[in-house]
């Protein structure tokens, strides 16, 4: 794995730890998913959170957005990453993050 892939996986893990969602609120619809993307600056600050796909379940969508916002700041970029920001995409489903 490349350093950027490891870093993205660490960020996704941090976001998942901050995510509070009960599958019961999905109404049994296991196909629901919300896709969000965001930028991580070199200091670990998360910016520009936006939806790529909404689930049509307000609780899932809002809880996903809040989990990302609550995770800021994440750890700073590792020395091997020399970019002005790292873009991260996460897909939230009733069963977890992908």
Q: Is residue 60 over pLDDT 80? A: yes
What are the residue ranges spanned by the domains of the chain?
3-23+30-93
Determine whether domain 3-23+30-93 maps to CATH 3.30.1150.10: yes
Q: Per-residue confidence at 72, pLDDT binned at 50, 70, 90?
A: very high
Q: How far apart are CA 36 and CA 81, in angstroms?
A: 22
- Confidence (pLDDT) at 29: 75
Please say whether the beta carbons of 97 and 16 come within 8 A: yes
Q: How far apart are CA 19 and CA 45, in angstroms?
A: 18
Give the tens place of pLDDT for each residue, 6-55: 999 999 999 999 998 877 766 777 789 999 999 999 999 999 999 999 99
- 32, containing H or E segment: none
Closest CA to 61 of 31, 18, 21: 21
């Amino acid at each position: 794995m490349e350093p950027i892939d490891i870093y993205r996986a660490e960020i996704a893990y941090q976001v998942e730890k901050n995510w509070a969602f009960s599958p019961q609120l999905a109404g049994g619809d296991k196909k629901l998913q919300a896709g969000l993307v965001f930028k991580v600056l070199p200091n670990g600050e998360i910016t520009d959170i936006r939806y790529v796909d909404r689930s049509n379940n307000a609780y899932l969508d809002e809880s996903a957005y809040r989990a990302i916002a609550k995770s800021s700041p994440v750890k700073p970029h590792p020395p091997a990453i020399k970019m002005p920001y790292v873009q991260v995409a996460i897909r939230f489903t009733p069963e977890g993050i992908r």
